[in-house]
Chains A and B, each alone.
Chain A
Amino acid sequence: MFYREAGQFKSSYNADQAILPIAQDRVFVIGVLAVAFAGVPWFIDSYWVNAIFLPFLAYALAALGLNLLTGYCGQVSLGTGGFMAVGAFATFKLITAFPELNLIIVVLLSGAVTAAVGVMFGLPSLRIKGFYLAVATLAAQFFLVWLFNKVGWFLNYSPTGQITMPSVEVFGVLVTGPRATPAARYLFCLSFVALFALAAKNIVRGRVGRSWMAIRDMDIAAELIGIRPLAAKLSAFAVSSFYIGMAGSLYFGVWLGSAEPIEAFGIEQSFLVLFMIIIGGLGSVLGSFLGAAFMTLMPIVLKNFMVDGLAVEVVTAKHVEITLMGVLIIFFLIVEPHGLARMWQILKEKLRLWPFPY
């Protein structure tokens, strides 16, 4: 009844090629953005921002990046944690070396540094495929984390082995450090995520994105129709690492504030982000967000339910939580291997016919 595109006629090519061709979708997205930008900051407090919103935003950006590489270009990567570490350490080095540099530029530069590193570790993808590549990307994960942990220069010779983000202002408002208001930190991250989600949506429906998808579906056939695998694969690695680097930068700079390389950027991060895109939906921008939301909220809900609701001991609850997480992951894969994004699509199909299905 409400979700029906009958009667929405397009009279120009531009209208036909709009990102959201259906009016209801446009309204919905604009509504979500309006609430996120103008509504949430009024209610947000320190707990919500640290426990839910900032992790969600940082992971959503990382998931978006990995989805560009794995979902759209078909190159499975387990190096996400390592690339996030590159972004975080680039931010740390840049902000401590040039304190007067605007944080926005620092985050973008961190993405660029990560993109360069990503291309380097993407080179083997030209020869190695499938699971061999996935395991090979673990080399990046272990090597990068080891490098940051061992070489004192990256840590600014910090005796604790931790890196700590200084308090930084953007346009006169404090966004990092302990004295920054929750709303400022949240809005800073949200702006990045919203902007780059839009960019991603556009990249994947343009020439570049189509060449990625051709490579994903069958790289030899793609080569035969004139797509250069070198350019396509490396550009996927570059763009994906750019996103993941920015995510690492926000993850460390705005959310955590201080980090220790092995703890914060371990292989669990790589798997976590991979789970997000699988559960959210491979090859879907929306899916990256749904997956990130699901994987951020689920442990919190499970823990609150067990510790507060059932009064289970914290240690036992942790074990049960791990088990349940595994069970839920398997359950989701069995019920809908194409992820939450596909569920949303099915729901939309149903909505079209509601309330008179035939």
Chain B
Amino acid sequence: MGSELMFFFETVISGVMAGVMYALVALGFVLIFKASGIFNFAQGVMCLFAALALYDFMAPGGWIDRLFGITLPVWLAIVATIGVMIVVAWLIERLVLQHLVQQDPIILFMATLGLAYVLEGLGDILFGSDVKPLDLGIPQGASDWALDTLGLYVEKLEVVAAITGAVLVTVLAIFFQRTRIGRALRAVADDHQAALSVGISLRTIWVIVWSVSGIVALVAGIMWGSKSGVQFSLSLIALKALPVLILGGFTSVPGAIVGGLIIGVGEKLAEVYFGPYVGGAIENWFAYMLALAFLLFRPQGLFGERIIERV
């Protein structure tokens, strides 16, 4: 193969991997939007918060160390962080959402923005605001196998992220389709009133959904944190996930994945082949423009539910 073509493939592959990372964040958005119609802007900060908590539980000088004089091994720290995220979800439902039932979507959106501030501030106060390297033993650097046999440069971390993403989506799909709770979640997503009338508790469902998206946030936080360290900018990946979200449709899990891949690949290709002509650093807005162009043809996103309007 020519080196031009190899370069093209490398770009596409790194785009696919970046896309999976975006999709991981977008997934959390979709889960909450489906079940409660809330556009949860705090998802990015939840990733940050989860990653901060995880780091803190393992680090010497963290809360666990100070309270009990031990640091947790990786798997226990992950379990503890999942516990923290469930508590956070429960608190959010109790203190915020419960009081805002039946409000306009924009009010709920603003409330999640407020939530983002709270989580960000709390994360800083509890865990400190300096950059933390997150090391869970995920392999780093280029994959030797791909480099030797195919001559391609592939990041190991990104491969792990892609596999994790695939596993996560499969587990979520099974959870949604096969379990009792999953069925209840889909019922709530379809119609709140009808779900209530057959005896599904909305409040329990909301706690579950926010917990699940908290766990998804943890996974995304681990991946992004391993890549670039745990720091404030982690919460800005929410902004990266938004175009993925509107491209795929707010209500579709497969949409989040496909949207993530399209955005990831498109962004990388544009940056490499088109960026140099306009001065670079276009990845900030290119994804949005791409999503906007798609939306003009399909206003509900690629996989979103068709918007039917009646008078």
A residues adjacent to B (C-beta < 8 A): 70, 76, 124, 127-132, 134-136, 138-139, 142-143, 146, 150-151, 218, 220-221, 224, 267, 271, 274-275, 278, 282, 316, 319-330, 333-334, 337
Contacts and interface: CB of A to CB of B under 8 A. Distances in A.
Contacts of B250: 131-132
A139 B288 contact: yes
A3 B307 CA distance: 48
A120 to B, nearest CB: 12
B5 interface: no
B12 interface: no
Contacts of B288: 135-136, 138-139, 142-143
A275 B299 CA distance: 26
B106 A330 contact: no
Contacts of B121: 319-326
Is chain B's binding surface mostly helix, strand, loop or mixed?
helix
A324 B279 CA distance: 40
Interface of B: 39, 95-96, 99-100, 103-107, 109-111, 113-122, 124-125, 129, 239, 242-243, 245-246, 250, 278-282, 284-285, 288-289, 291-292, 295-296, 299-301, 307, 309-311
A337 B117 contact: no
Contacts of B242: 135, 138
A318 to B, nearest CB: 8
B125 A143 contact: no
A323 B285 contact: no
A298 to B, nearest CB: 12
Nearest to A121: B292
Given A135-B291, A146-B282, A330-B96, 18 more contacts: A128-B295, A128-B299, A129-B299, A129-B307, A131-B105, A132-B246, A135-B242, A136-B295, A150-B278, A319-B124, A320-B125, A322-B120, A323-B117, A326-B115, A330-B111, A330-B115, A333-B103, A334-B100
A140 to B, nearest CB: 9
Contacts of B282: 146
Is chain A's binding surface mostly helix, strand, loop or mixed?
helix
A225 to B, nearest CB: 10
B243 to A, nearest CB: 7
A333 B107 contact: yes
A151 B110 contact: no
A319 B104 CA distance: 30
A327 B311 contact: no
Contact of B111 (A129, A131, A333): A333
Contacts of B291: 135-136, 139
Contacts of A267: 239
A129 B119 CA distance: 29
A321 B120 CA distance: 11
Nearest to B295: A128
Nearest to A319: B124
Contact of A322 (B99, B117, B285, B296): B117
With most chain A CB atoms within 10 A of its CB, the pick from B121, B124, B282 is B121
Contact of A326 (B99, B116, B309): B116
Given A139-B285, A142-B284, A334-B100, A319 B129 contact: yes
B284 A329 contact: no
Contacts of A271: 113
